[in-house]
């Protein structure tokens, strides 16, 4: 749900674009001071850059010049840095390449401004402003917008990024090769924003006003005193009414209206009722469908509108687009979303297990409902709160009381543990999807926070509307991919270069196709368009089920004494059972605050069992949703489980095939109706994951399954008593949880023939 600052995205993308195996050394001694404001920081960074320069190497000549200029600038030689940038520009002009990425173009202006500052003895802010006006005015709308979007951040955001890097490095007293270059880039942007002060946002506004007509603080009134605030941005030069792209959001910092205008549309961003000094309480999800329809109807009546509206967005604003379709407005012609949140499906709970993140999000987005101190907590503060609750053993319904900041929205959410009418009325439900007869584009990633929601919308839409025009695009990305571009290295995994497409630009191309009759993006050849990891290819299928039309069933070994049990195809090899014991008093919370690595050398197992297959005799491509059956006898009436699947590579690395699937056993059959387990009775329970996988497994690799009991500091804990889980406590469940596993347990892998 939450999005990082513009600055956080800038740093991440720059590091991915501009670093690789950039230096050859054993690392560099570096002990940063406690604060980035320490006067010694410029000298320390200069010293680090001077030590990197003699050993810096890079095979890619363009990346070499980009990083060389960065090092030269931090080392105090902006003139040499400018020469390196000139060499880079000449090289690109000779090769006839397109303009560089906007982040790199922005850096070019920074380097040249530093050189002008030194040679002409003028303030850096003045030098940058002059160069900006001379160069950005020559760009087209799309390129100009890409550059100016970087300039809406603040010196505080860049300071926080550098401070976080310092805090991470300080305990070790040194930085590795890649980390040293990353630090140089982080410092460059901190220094540039600090030197320019408030100049960057004002320059961005100046350039925007030259190109676009912007209407701020537009008030749209509805029945019952409802008032919605919107911002409208449209091309200054337009000879006819235009279609509008609407983003309806709860986050005032989220604003892509200018990007829409840069692509030839009217950009409209509207905010949830209660935001930006409007009347009414902020009640996430509950009124957004109605309010979005109000805005759509208002847009269609404006003189600059041609009567057509498409909705766009990620996360919450993606949800709002679907909420609007529950009663489809005539003017709404398409929706294009990425990782769209599905309330009650993937937020505030997933697999019916509530995440503590939901309380943080509610505190940060429902101003006036919680003490402002809640918003001021940093990540460490929130993790400390998780641990405080976890170690107390108190019921989950006490979580906001432990935080000393009760939140009525959070309490309402946990009061609806089933997917009941409260959730069902927020978005289309079952047969209502059949009425969504407009083109839809859904984008998500195998490791994206919003994948479960995106797949829910896609699966339900095509299930109830077999002729629906709905394209799904999925690749090895996380939830930041559409804003940042897909990462080059994601949680330890080197992402296939050909899969790292510009998703935001692709979305505009798809909208151009739907609204203006232009060619459809080449990659969208069928309903399901997915990157096959390991195969290095885009593949296309008519449905999720068609991704892997064959199946391989593997049984889970149930012998009593084994550290790593086996996965095998022959069920007759299994004729015993074993008992798993989980100590509910264990309050070890290590690693609970971070997503699991995609590629790692170790596979720690906590409160779980690991199963390993024999080496694969030949390559095999798994594509689709993992499913299976549990054959077990639990000692309690419920349990929360975690299913993770890996490829164990020949070199010993573990590659995560999809983000772990977590689910509450009592809801495995139906998320809308809880069915408790029979404590002390052998029973079977079928399950199907809600995250896709698509990977060609190498011959010689092994499959690894980890089946764990969820007991984490950042999750609701199900003690299996059979009550409302939010009311259960450790005090009532001191006895260990015991699960006896029987030979009938298996998983089924969808396989592409």
What's the pLDDT at 182? 87
Question: Is position 640 within any domain?
Answer: yes
CB 176 within 8 A of CB 9: no
- 188 and 224 together in one domain: no
Question: Stretch 202-227: mean pLDDT, rounded?
Answer: 93
* Tokens 């919107």 sit on residue: 230
**735's tokens:** 């006895």
Among candidate residues 503, 522, 544, the one where a domain is terminated: 544
User: Which has the minimum average pLDDT: 109-113, 369-373, 397-401, 664-668?
Assistant: 369-373
Nearest CA-CA partner of 1 in 313, 288, 283, 247: 313
CATH number at residue 589: 2.60.120.260
How many angstroms separate the CA atoms of 270 and 294, rounded? 11
CB 335 within 8 A of CB 321: yes
What's the pLDDT at 280? 76
**213's tokens:** 């007509």
Neighbours of 6 (CB within 10 A): 17
Question: Is position 27 within any domain?
Answer: yes
pTM, two decimals, is: 0.90
For residue 394, give every residue at least 6 positions away whose Cβ sits within 8 Å of its Cβ, in sequence order, or none: 402, 729, 730
- Reported confidence tier of residue 211, pLDDT bands at 50, 70, 90: very high
> Does 2 have pLDDT greater than 70?
no
**Of all residues in the chain, what percent are helix, strand and coil, respectively (each to 5)?**
40, 25, 40
Among candidate residues 544, 574, 601, the one where a domain is terminated: 544
- 132 and 235 together in one domain: no
- 326 and 240 together in one domain: yes
How many angstroms separate the CA atoms of 479 and 357, rounded? 15
What's the pLDDT at 592? 64
- 340 and 450 together in one domain: yes
Quick one: 237 exposed, middle or buried, by C-beta within 10 A (0-12, 13-18, 19+)? exposed
N-term to C-term CA, the chain: 36
Q: What is the DSSP string of 282-303?
A: --TTTSHHHHHHHHHHHHHTST
Instruction: Return the biggest CA–CA distance within the chain.
Output: 84
What's the pLDDT at 26? 59
Nearest CA-CA partner of 550 in 270, 748, 299, 309: 748
- Reported confidence tier of residue 487, pLDDT bands at 50, 70, 90: confident
CA contacts within 13 A on the Cβ side of 82: 15
Helix (H, G, I), strand (E, B) or coil at 468: coil
If one compares 452 and 374, the residue with the highest pLDDT of the two is 452
- 451 and 570 together in one domain: no
Question: Is position 98 within any domain?
Answer: yes
Question: Is position 206 within any domain?
Answer: no
What mean pLDDT, rounded, does the chain reach?
Answer: 91
Question: Is position 207 within any domain?
Answer: no
How many angstroms separate the CA atoms of 350 and 664, rounded? 9
**Omega into 348 within 30° of 0, i.e. cis?**
yes
- Reported confidence tier of residue 158, pLDDT bands at 50, 70, 90: confident
- Reported confidence tier of residue 154, pLDDT bands at 50, 70, 90: low
CB 177 within 8 A of CB 209: no
Give me the count of residues in the chain.
753
- Which tens digits make up the pLDDT trace of 509-537? 999 999 999 999 999 999 999 999 999 99
Nearest CA-CA partner of 537 in 220, 291, 229, 752: 752
What's the pLDDT at 376? 56
CB 317 within 8 A of CB 248: yes
- 299 and 188 together in one domain: no
Exposed e or buried b per residue across 660-670, where buried means at least 16 C-beta atoms within 10 angstroms of its C-beta: bbbbbbbbbee
- Which tens digits make up the pLDDT trace of 23-61? 555 589 999 999 999 999 999 999 999 999 999 888 888
β-pairing, 212-221 vs 227-235, is antiparallel
If one compares 253 and 117, the residue with the highest pLDDT of the two is 117
Outline where DSSP puts E strands in 560-716: 564-568, 578-582, 599-600, 608-613, 620-624, 627-634, 640-648, 654-656, 661-664, 683-688, 693-697, 702-709
- Reported confidence tier of residue 98, pLDDT bands at 50, 70, 90: low
What's the pLDDT at 12? 47
What's the pLDDT at 68? 93
> Does 491 have pLDDT greater than 80?
yes
> Does 11 have pLDDT greater than 70?
no
CB 70 within 8 A of CB 104: no
- Which tens digits make up the pLDDT trace of 698-735? 999 999 999 999 999 999 999 999 999 999 999 998 89
- Which tens digits make up the pLDDT trace of 644-696? 999 999 999 999 999 999 999 999 999 999 999 999 999 999 999 999 999 99
Question: Is position 175 within any domain?
Answer: yes
Complete edge-to-edge strand list for the sheet that includes strand 470-475? 212-221, 227-235, 266-271, 242-249, 305-314, 332-338, 440-445, 470-475, 528-532, 537-541
Q: What is the DSSP string of 643-654?
A: EEEEEE-TTS-E
CB 271 within 8 A of CB 316: no
* Tokens 């905010």 sit on residue: 271
What's the pLDDT at 374? 44
- 672 and 747 together in one domain: yes
What are the helix (H) ranges across 517-671? Answer: 544-547
- 16 and 134 together in one domain: yes
- Which tens digits make up the pLDDT trace of 262-320? 999 999 999 999 887 777 789 999 999 999 999 999 999 999 999 999 999 999 999 99
CATH number at residue 298: 3.40.50.1820
Question: Is position 1 within any domain?
Answer: no
**491's tokens:** 């949680």
- Reported confidence tier of residue 593, pLDDT bands at 50, 70, 90: low
Neighbours of 700 (CB within 10 A): 13
How many angstroms separate the CA atoms of 386 and 380, rounded? 10
CB 668 within 8 A of CB 567: no
How many angstroms separate the CA atoms of 148 and 129, rounded? 12
How many angstroms separate the CA atoms of 266 and 212, rounded? 10
pLDDT above 70 covers a percentage of the chain that reads 93
- 24 and 157 together in one domain: yes
β-pairing, 305-314 vs 332-338, is parallel
Neighbours of 54 (CB within 10 A): 8
- Which tens digits make up the pLDDT trace of 51-93? 999 998 888 888 899 899 999 999 999 999 999 988 988 887 7
> Does 132 have pLDDT greater than 80?
yes
636 φ/ψ sector (left φ>0, alpha ψ -120 to 50, else beta): beta
What's the pLDDT at 156? 77
CB 750 within 8 A of CB 623: yes
- 695 and 629 together in one domain: yes
Domain residues for the domain of 109 are: 6-197
Question: Stretch 172-188: mean pLDDT, rounded?
Answer: 88
Stated as kind and residue range, the H or E segment containing 233 is strand 227-235
What's the pLDDT at 194? 86
> Does 21 have pLDDT greater than 90?
no
What's the pLDDT at 652? 96
Torsion of CA 12, 15, 20, 21, to 10 degrees: -110
For residue 521, give every residue at least 6 positions away whose Cβ sits within 8 Å of its Cβ, in sequence order, or none: 506, 509, 510, 513
Nearest CA-CA partner of 296 in 246, 339, 260, 334: 246
Among candidate residues 490, 521, 544, the one where a domain is terminated: 544
> Does 633 have pLDDT greater than 90?
yes
If one compares 545 and 12, the residue with the highest pLDDT of the two is 545
What's the pLDDT at 485? 83
What's the pLDDT at 100? 59
**What's CA 742's distance to the chain center, in Å?**
38
- 44 and 168 together in one domain: yes
What's the pLDDT at 634? 98
Question: Is position 578 within any domain?
Answer: yes
- 329 and 356 together in one domain: no
Q: How many structural domains is the chain composed of?
A: 4
pLDDT above 90 covers a percentage of the chain that reads 73
Nearest CA-CA partner of 292 in 266, 254, 319: 319
CB 647 within 8 A of CB 628: no
Residues forming beta bridges with residue 231, ordered by sequence position = 269
Residues forming beta bridges with residue 296, ordered by sequence position = none
Quick one: 712 exposed, middle or buried, by C-beta within 10 A (0-12, 13-18, 19+)? buried
What's the pLDDT at 372? 39
How many angstroms separate the CA atoms of 286 and 23, rounded? 53
- Which tens digits make up the pLDDT trace of 323-346? 999 999 999 999 999 999 999 999
């Amino acid at each position: 749900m939450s999005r990082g600052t513009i600055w956080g995205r800038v740093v991440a993308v720059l590091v991915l674009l501009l670093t690789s195996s950039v230096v050859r050394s054993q690392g560099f001694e570096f002990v940063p001071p406690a604060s980035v404001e320490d006067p010694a920081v410029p000298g320390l960074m200069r010293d680090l850059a001077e030590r990197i320069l003699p050993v810096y190497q890079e095979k890619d000549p363009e990346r070499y010049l980009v990083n060389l200029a960065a090092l030269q600038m931090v080392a105090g030689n902006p003139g040499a840095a400018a020469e390196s940038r000139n060499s880079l520009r000449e090289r690109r002009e000779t090769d006839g390449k397109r303009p560089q990425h906007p982040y790199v173009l922005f850096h070019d202006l920074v380097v040249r401004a530093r050189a002008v500052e030194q040679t002409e003895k003028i303030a850096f802010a003045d030098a940058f402003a002059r160069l900006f006006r001379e160069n950005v005015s020559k760009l087209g709308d799309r390129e100009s917008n890409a550059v100016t979007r970087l300039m809406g951040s603040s010196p505080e955001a860049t300071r926080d990024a550098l401070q976080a890097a310092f805090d991470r490095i300080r305990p070790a007293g040194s930085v590795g090769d890649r980390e040293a270059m990353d630090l140089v880039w982080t410092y460059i942007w901190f220094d540039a924003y600090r030197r320019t002060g408030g100049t960057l946002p004002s320059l961005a506004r100046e350039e925007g006003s030259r190109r676009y007509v912007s209407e701020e603080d537009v008030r749209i009134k509805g029945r019952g005193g409802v008032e919605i605030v919107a911002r409208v941005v449209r091309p200054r030069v337009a000879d006819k009414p235009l279609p509008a792209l609407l983003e309806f959001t709860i986050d005032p910092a989220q604003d892509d209206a200018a990007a829409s205008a840069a692509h030839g549309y009217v950009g409209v961003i509207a905010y949830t009722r209660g935001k930006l000094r409007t009347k009414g309480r902020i009640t996430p999800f509950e009124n957004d469908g109605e309010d979005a329809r109000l805005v759509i109807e208002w847009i269609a009546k404006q003189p600059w509108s041609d009567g057509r509206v498409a909705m766009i967005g990620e996360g919450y604003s993606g949800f709002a687009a679907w909420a609007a379709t529950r009663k489809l407005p005539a003017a709404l012609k398409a929706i294009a979303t990425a990782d769209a949140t599905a309330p009650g499906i993937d937020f505030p709970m997933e697999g019916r297990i509530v995440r503590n993140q939901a309380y943080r999000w509610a505190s940060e987005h429902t101003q006036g409902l919680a003490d402002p101190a809640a918003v001021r907590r940093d990540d460490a503060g929130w993790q400390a709160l998780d641990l405080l609750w976890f170690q107390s053993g108190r019921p989950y319904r006490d979580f906001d009381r432990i935080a000393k900041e009760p939140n009525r929205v959070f309490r309402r959410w946990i009061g609806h543990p089933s997917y009941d009418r409260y959730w069902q009325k927020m978005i289309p439900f079952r047969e209502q999807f059949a009425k969504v007869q407009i083109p839809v584009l859904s984008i998500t990633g195998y490791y994206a926070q919003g994948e479960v929601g995106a797949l829910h919308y896609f699966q339900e839409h095509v299930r109830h509307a077999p002729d629906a025009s709905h394209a799904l695009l999925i690749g090895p990305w996380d939830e930041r991919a559409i804003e940042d571009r897909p990462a080059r290295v994601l949680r330890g995994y080197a992402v296939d270069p050909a899969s790292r497409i510009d998703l935001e630009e692709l979305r505009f191309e798809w909208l151009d196709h739907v609204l203006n009759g232009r060619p459809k993006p080449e990659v969208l050849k069928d309903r399901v368009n997915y990157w096959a990891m390991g195969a290095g290819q885009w593949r296309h299928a008519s449905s999720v089920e068609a991704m892997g039309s064959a199946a391989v069933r593997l049984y889970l070994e149930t012998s009593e004494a084994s550290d790593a049990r086996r996965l095998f195809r022959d069920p007759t090899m299994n004729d015993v059972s074993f008992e798993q014991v989980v100590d509910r008093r264990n309050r070890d919370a290590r690693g609970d605050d971070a997503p699991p690595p995609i590629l790692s050398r170790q596979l720690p197992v906590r409160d779980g069992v690991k199963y390993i297959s024999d080496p694969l005799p030949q390559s095999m491509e798994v594509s689709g949703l993992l499913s299976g059956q549990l054959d077990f006898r639990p000692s309690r009436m419920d349990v929360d489980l975690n299913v993770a699947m890996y490829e164990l590579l020949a070199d010993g690395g573990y590659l995560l095939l999809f983000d772990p699937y977590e689910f509450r056993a009592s809801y495995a059959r139906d998320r809308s109706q809880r069915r408790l387990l029979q404590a002390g009775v052998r029973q079977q329970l079928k399950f199907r994951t809600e995250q896709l996988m698509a990977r060609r497994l190498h011959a010689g690799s092994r499959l690894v399954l980890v089946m764990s009991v969820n007991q984490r500091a950042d999750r609701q804990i199900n003690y299996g008593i059979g009550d409302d889980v939010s009311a259960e406590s450790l005090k009532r469940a001191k006895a260990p949880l015991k699960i006896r596993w029987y030979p009938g347990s298996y998983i089924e892998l969808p396989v592409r023939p």
